[in-house]
A and B are shown apart, each in its own frame.
Chain A
Amino acid sequence: MSSDVLMGSLGTLALVLPALGAMGIALPWLLRVRLEERVILRITNAVFSLTFLATLAMDAVFLARGGAPVEFLITDWIALPAYTVHSAVLLDAPAALIMTLTGFLAGLIGVFSGNYLHKDPGFHRFFVLLLVFASGMMAVAAGGTLDIIYAGWEIVGLTSALLIAYFTYREAPVRHGLRAFAVYRVCDVALLGAAILVHHHSGALTLLHPDALPPESQLLVGGLLIFASMGKGALLPFTGWLPRAMEGPTPSSAIFYGALSIHAGPFLLLRGWPYLEGLPALRWILGGLGLATALHASMVGRVQSDIKTQLGYASVAQAGVIVIEIAAGFTGVAMIHIFSHAILRAAQLLRAPAVLHDWFGLAARLGRTPTRHEGYVERHLPAGLRRRAYAFALDRWAIDDFGRLGLRQARRLLQSLDRVDQRFAARLAGDPAVAAEPATASPEGGHLVNDQA
C-alpha cells in the first residue's frame, strides 16, 4: 500500500469514526432504546481512542513522507458531465494538526464529561452532539474541497448552537444559542458563496490550485473566505456571541470556545491561504480585523469579573493574534499557536469551576492572597479618562448596539423589499386592495425585550 493511500485511509477513518459512534448512540435512542450511561461512555471512549490513534498514525506516516501533503479521493459525491463534487481529503500539516488536536481534546472531554454530566437529563444528547461535532471538525480539517469543508462547517455550527442551548428549560441559553446560530448563518453564506464561485469557474477543483481562477474571482473568493471565518473566529464585529456562548455545561464551553470551534475561523484562513497569499490588500484588511479584535477582546476581557466570560474574551484575543500572524504570512507560527492555545485554554476552562479552589490553594503556597490588581496598566490613565474607558470596556465597546442597529436597518430594508414584492405581485394578479395595503410593521419597542445581555 502506498503511503498516500495509507494516510488517506487513516484520515478518512478519523473523519468517519466519531460519526459512527454518534449513530451507535442515536439510532437505539430513535428506536426508544435508552442506552445506559456506562454503554455510552464505552462507545465514546472507544471511538475517541481509535480516532486519536488513527490521527497519530497518520501523523507518523506524514512525517515519514517528509511532510508531503496527500490529496486522497474517497469517491465522487455528485458526478455530472459538466460538474463534479469530489469527496476528497487533503491531508497536510494544518489538517494533521487540527485532526490530532480534535482527537486528543474530544477524547479527554469525553472522559471528563462522563463524570461531570453523570445523571444529567441531557447526557445522551451531549454525547451524540460531542461525537457529531468531532466528525464535523475532522471534516473541516481534512476536507479536500470547499464542499466537504462546508459540510463540516455547518455541523460544527449546528452542534455548537445546540450545546449552547443545552439547558433548554432556561431562557438565556436558548436565546444565546440562537444568537450564535444566527451569526454563523450570516457568515456561512460567504463560505457557500466561495464554494459556488470555485465550482462555477472550474467544474471540479481542489483547494490547492487558486491559479485556475481568474484574478477578480480570486479576490472575491479570498474576501468571502475572510468573511466566513469571522463568525466562528468571533472576529469584530461578530465578537458578541462568544462570551454569551458560555451557557452550556462547562466541558462543552471548553471544547468549543476554548479549544476547537473558535479556531475553525483561523483554520479556514490557513486553508484559503493559497487564495490570500498573493493579495496584499486582503491581507492588510485581515490584519486590521485581527488587530482590532485582539485589542477589543483584551480590553473588554480585562474588566470581566466572572471567570467564564473572562476566559472567553481571552480566547478571542488570541484568535485575533493568530489572525494577525496569518495575515503577516507566518502560517507556521499560526499553526503552532492554534495548537498550543487550544490545549491551554481548554485546560483553563475545564478548571474554571475550580478557580476558587485554585485561588485559595495558590494563596496557601504563596503565603498571601494573590492579586492581579497591582499590575494593570490602566492605572496610569487620568481618572476621568480611566472611568470612561472602563465604562466603555464594561459596555463591550457597545458592539452589540451597532449589531442591533444593523439588524434593525436590515429588517427595514427587507420589509420594504417585501412591500415592493407584494405590490408587484398584486399588480400582476390585478388585485388593487392588496397593492394598496402596506405590510404590517412590528410594534416599536418589541425589540428591546429580545436583546438583553
Chain B
Amino acid sequence: MAEASPRARIEAAVAHASHLVPSQSPLDRFVHHNPLHHFEELPFEVAVERAAELFGNAPYWSEAAYQAEYRRGRIQDDDLDWAIARAAPEDAPLGVGVTRHALMRAMLEHPVAALNGPALAWHLAETDVLTVARPGLRPEVFHRLVSKAGGDVPRALGSLWAACRRRLGDAPPPPEAPRGLRLRDRLVDAGRGDIDGLIHSLLIRWSGAYLDHGIAHWPMSHRDRPFLEAVRLHLQHGRGLGRGWLAHVGAWFRSAEGQRLDALDTIHRMLERLGHPPADWRAVLERTALALPGWAGMFQRLADRPDTAPVRQALPTALADFIAVALVLEVGIGEHLLPGKGPLVRRVPAPGAAMAPATCAPAWLFFQIAQSLGLNDYAVDRLDDVELQAVLAEARAFDGPRRQAVLHAAYERRFRVEHLDALARHAVDQAARPAPERRVQCVFCIDDREESMRRHAEELAPWIQTLGVAANFGLSMYYQGVHDSRPVALGPAPVEPQHYVREVFVDAQPAPSRWRAWAKHGINVGSQTLLRGAVVTLAGAFSAAPLTTQVLSPALHERLNRPSQRGKTRLEYEATGDARHPNGWKVGYTLDEQVGVVRRTLESMSLLRDFAPLVLCLGHGSDSANNPHAAAYNCGACGGGRSAPNARLFAKMANDPRVRERLAAEGIHIPADTVFVGGYHNTANDDVLISDADEVPPSHRAPLDETLAALAEAAKHDALERCRRFENVPLDVTPEQALRHVRARVNDFSQPRPEYNHNGNALALVGRRAWSRGLFLDQRAFLCSYDPDSDPDGHILADLLQMAVPVGAGINLEYWFAAIDPYGYGSGTKTAHNITGYLGVMDGHQSDLRIGLYHQMVELHEPVRLLCVVEAPPERLLAIAQARPMVGRLVTNGWVLLASLDPATGAVQYFEDGAFRPWPTPLDPLPRVPTSSDWFRGNRGYLPPAQVGFGDEEVA
C-alpha cells in the first residue's frame, strides 16, 4: 500500500468515506435500513460506541434518562444486577465492606458528575454539594453517612470532603486536548472560529442547485457534467465582491480550467496545498465528507442507485466531486484568513488555552462515591492506599459510556424477560386449547402494525385464520398504475426489479380532463414569479376558501378534491415474447416465472396444504396529507411503496388454472374451489379494500362479504387500539368514533403524526400463529408464518430468515438509533423541515440534508433490539446462521437477538454469548382478559402481554 500512487490512495480514501456516509434514498423512496450498516462486522456494543465517536452522536440515552426509567419501574433491580454481573463477571471485595458490584450499583443509581478545575471550584463554592447529601440515598446509607456527625449533614459532608482531599490531594492538571486534523479543526483550536459555517453555506447552496429535481424555476446549467466541473464553470469568474476568499476560489478554478483536473486530481492538489501528509489523507477526506453527511450521502446514493431519483435525469454525481468542492472552498478560505507561503495547516497559529476534555478530579469522584456507598470520613481514612487506589481505579474504569451501556443492557433485558416469559407461558397454555375452525384465510404483511388488526379479526371472527408474509408477495417489479406518472419499484429495497407491470383500463376511457391540475400548477408556479405573480396574487383572495376548508374540515376538503372515480382496471402482467420496457425491464412475467412466484410465496408462508375456500391477501400502505416521509409509513417489503398491486397480482397468479396445474405437478395442490382475492389495508385510516372484486365467482361472494364485514368491525377496534396512543384523543371514545378520528386524521394537513407507524417494533415471531394467537402483543411484533412440518430440510426457513431478519433489523435499528439520538441519528423535529430538491429535508432555511426518522415518528419508541423468536430447534438456527452470513452476522454480533421455540413443546431457548440456553417457563399465569379492549382501555403507554379470549375458561 505504501507505494500506491497518490491517485490510488485518494480513490481508496473516497471509497472508504463512501461507506460511512448515510445511504438514505430520496424521500419518496425512503426505506428503513440500519444506519450503521457498515459496522455490522463488529459486535453491537463496540459498533455503537465507535460510531458515536465518529459521527459525534450519542451512543445511548443519558444516564439521567435511564435513571428515570428505573424510578418508574421500567428497569428493575434484578435487571441492574444482571447487567452489572454481565459487565463484570467477577465480584471482588475492595475494602471496608465495599465490593466491585456494590460500587457499580451505587454509581448506576446515583449519577456521577465529572468535574475538575474551575468548574469544580465553582460547584463547591456556589452550590449546596457540601451541605446537602446527594438525593435519593437509601435511609440506611444516609444513616451510615451522617451518624458519626450526630446527624449534622453539613459537618459530615465537610469532614468527608476534607478526608477525600487529604487522601487524594488536589486535582492533577487536565491532560492536553488533542489537536485537530482538518484546517478547520486547527482554526477552531486556535480560537479563529468555525470556517465550516462558510464552507457549508456555499457547499449546500451549490449541492442543492446541482441535485435539484424540479423545485427551482431556473435550473443550474451543465448538470450533465460532474459536480466539480459544473461548479467550476460557475465560480471561475468570481472576484469576491467583498469576500476575499471567493476571489481565491475563483482564481483556483480559472487556473484549473486548462489543466483538465478531475475530482481526484483536485483533491490531491488541495491536500498538498493544505499540507496534510499522505498518512492523514484518509482521515481528512472522511471528516470532510462527514462534516456534511446528509449531502455527501445523497451524492453517493444517487451514484449507487440512480433509479431512486424522483426524476430520471443524467446527473453524474460522485462523492469525490463533493469532497473536491469542499476542499477547494476550505483552501480558498484558508488562503484568505492565513496569508503567507507554505502549506496552510502550518500557517495556523499555535492553539491558545484549549478546552480541557471532561475529566473528574479524584477527590471529587471519591467524595460522590463515598456518599452513595455510605462511607463517612472515618471509613475513608481507614482504607489503606492500595485499597483506596483500587476503588478509585474501579470507579474510573466504570466511566460514563460504560455506565450507559450497562443501564441500557438492563433496560433491554426487562423487555426481553417480560416477553420471553409471556411467550413461553402462552405456548404451554395454547397447547392445551383446541384449534379453532378455519373457513377463511387472511394473509397480512409481517408488519408489526398488522399484529393488532390480526388479533382483532381473530377475536371477532374466530373462523378467520391469519397468516403473515412479506407483502411484496414474492414479487419484485416496476409497477405503473393508471394514476402513476412513472413506474415505481415494488419489491425488497436491495434488489433492483427486473419486471414491468402496468395497470390499464378495461374499457376505453374518455381522456381525463386535466385543466384543473394544469390550472393549479400554473397558479402555484406563476405566483412565485414576478409579472405572472403580480396578476395571480392579486386574485389570491380566492384561496381563502380552500385554505379554510383544509384547516377547519380536512374531511370535507378531501371530499371536494378527490379525483373522480374512473372505470375498471386490470393488470397487464402476461409476458408476450421477449418484450422489453424502454428502461430494459422484462414486460410481465412468463408462466414459469409466475409459477415460481406463487410457489415461493406459498412456501414462505408455509401455506402448502389445508387451503381454505377463500384466501384473502392484503397488501398495505398508509395515507397522509402532509408528510415528506410518507414512504417510511408504507410497506417495508416493497421498498416504501404500497403493496396493494403485489397482493392483487399474486392473487391473479394463484387463481390461474395453468399455474395451479404446474404447482400440482410440483406437489402443491390448491383445491379447485379455493379462490384468492387481493386487497389492501390502509394502516393509517384502517380501510380494507378489495381488488378485482368482479372476478370473484358467485359461490364465494357471500363468504367474502362476511369476511369483509368482520374485517371492517376489526378495523374499528384496531383504530380504537391505535387511538389510545394519540394524546389528543380522549381515552373513552367508542370504536366508531375512533374510526372516524383516524379517517379525519389522514386527510389533515396539519397533522405531523398521521399514525404511529413502527413505534412498537421490538419482537419478531417466526412460526405458526397457534403459538401467539390470543396473546396481546401491543403492535410490537412482526409476525411471520412458518410451519416447520412443511420444511423438513430447513431451506424454507433459511430463505425466510434471509429475507425477514435484515428487513426487520433494518426497521428496528433505524428506530433504535433515532430514538437514542433524535437529532444525531434522526432528523430532528418535523416542524422545522424544509423540503429541498424533492430529495430530502433541511432544518429551516439551510442545513445539512437531514437523514433518518424524525422525532414525532419515534417519540414513543422504546429502543430495544429486535428479539427474534423462531419456531425451530437451536441446531437448525445455528446451521442457518453459519450458512447465511447476512443473518449470521446480525445474530452473532448481537444486532438482533435470537430465541428458539421448540416446535413440539413450545419450550424457549435464548441465544446468548454464542450458545442457546433454556429459558425457564414461568409458573405464574399470565393476566387474562376476554377481549383486547379490556386490556388496553384507559391506558396510553405500552402494556405487558396478556392472554385475550381466555376469559370464559377462567370462569369455568
Contacts and interface: CB of A to CB of B under 8 A. Distances in A.
Contact of B485 (A120, A340, A364): A364
Interface string A385-397: 0111011011100
Given A246-B834, A346-B547, A401-B241, A321 B530 contact: yes
Interface in B132-170: none
Contacts of A318: 533-534, 537
Interface in B177-200: 192-195, 197-198, 200
Contacts of A394: 205-206, 209, 234
B485 A366 contact: yes
A354 B859 CA distance: 21
B204 interface: yes
Contacts of A309: 834, 845-846
Nearest to A444: B337
Contact of A307 (B518, B728, B836): B836
B835 A355 contact: yes
Contacts of A60: none
Interface in B620-640: 624-628, 630
A173 B194 CA distance: 17
B216 A402 contact: no
Contacts of A350: 547, 550-551, 749-750
B218 A390 contact: yes
B214 A373 contact: yes
How many interface residues does chain A have, given as a range?
35 or more
Nearest to B844: A247
Contact of B218 (A115, A311, A321, A393): A393
B217 A353 contact: no
Interface in A355-382: 355-357, 359-360, 362-373, 375-376, 378
B216 A405 contact: no
A449 B197 contact: yes
A113 interface: yes
B750 A372 contact: no
Interface stretch (B802-810, B825-833, B877-885): B825-833
A198 B148 CA distance: 77
A118 B728 CA distance: 8
B485 A391 contact: no
Contacts of A311: 528
A371 B218 CA distance: 11
Given A119-B727, A308-B834, A405-B242, A363 B233 contact: no
B529 A298 contact: yes
A310 B534 contact: no
Interface in B219-257: 219-222, 233-235, 237-238, 241-243
Interface string A418-453: 000000000000000000000000000110111011
A356 B215 CA distance: 10
A115 B751 contact: yes
Interface in A233-272: 243-250
A307 B195 contact: no
A115 B748 contact: yes
Nearest to B198: A452
B697 to A, nearest CB: 33
A37 interface: yes
Contact of B215 (A176, A305, A366): A305
B458 interface: no
A378 B218 contact: yes
A448 B337 contact: yes
Nearest to B523: A344
A183 interface: no
Interface string B496-516: 000000000000000010101
Interface in A294-339: 294-295, 298, 301-311, 313-314, 317-318, 321, 333, 336-337, 339
Interface stretch (A8-16, A19-27, A104-112): A104-112
Interface stretch (B538-546, B572-580, B680-688): B538-546
Given A119-B727, A394-B206, A340 B540 contact: yes
A6 interface: no
Contacts of B625: 354, 357
Interface in A37-58: 37-38
Contacts of B485: 360, 363-364, 366-369
B355 interface: no
Contacts of B200: 452-453
Contacts, number: 308
Contacts of B517: 362, 365-366
Contacts of B211: 305
Contacts of A250: 831-832
A343 B28 CA distance: 29
Contacts of A249: 831-832
A303 B209 contact: yes
B548 interface: yes
B410 to A, nearest CB: 27
Interface residues of B, number: 104
Q: Which of B521, B630, B750 has the most CB of A within 10 A?
A: B750
Given A245-B845, A376-B218, A401-B242, A353 B551 contact: no
A306 B835 contact: yes
Given A302-B217, A344-B537, A369-B311, A104 B544 contact: yes
B15 interface: no
Contact of A172 (B218, B749, B752, B843): B843
A383 interface: yes
Interface in A95-128: 104, 108, 111-120
Nearest to B209: A305
A345 interface: yes
B486 A363 contact: yes
Contacts of A339: 541
Contacts of A307: 215, 834-836
A108 B749 CA distance: 13
A393 B218 CA distance: 10
B524 interface: yes
B540 A359 contact: no
B838 A359 contact: yes
Contacts of B628: 353, 356-357
A369 B540 contact: no
A276 B212 CA distance: 44
Nearest to B207: A305
Contacts of B193: 445-446, 448-450
Given A307-B836, A344-B536, A372 B845 contact: no
Given A246-B834, A306-B837, A351 B626 contact: yes
B525 interface: yes
B520 interface: yes
A333 to B, nearest CB: 8
Given A311-B528, A314-B528, A359-B838, A244 B845 contact: yes
A321 B221 contact: no
B845 to A, nearest CB: 5
Interface in B430-486: 483-486
Contacts of A345: 527, 537, 540
B337 A445 contact: yes
A108 B209 CA distance: 34
A359 B835 CA distance: 12
A178 interface: no
Q: Which of B200, B215, B238, B844 has the most CB of A within 10 A?
A: B844
Interface string B14-42: 00000000000001100000000000000
Given A250-B831, A353-B626, 4 more contacts: A294-B530, A303-B220, A308-B834, A391-B234
Shortest Cβ-Cβ A-B pairs, 7 listed: A344-B540, A449-B193, A452-B197, A453-B201, A401-B242, A363-B485, A247-B844
24 contacts: A111-B552, A111-B750, A118-B727, A167-B843, A298-B533, A301-B528, A303-B216, A304-B215, A306-B215, A306-B842, A317-B528, A318-B537, A337-B537, A354-B625, A354-B627, A356-B838, A357-B624, A360-B28, A362-B521, A363-B486, A390-B221, A448-B195, A453-B200, A453-B845
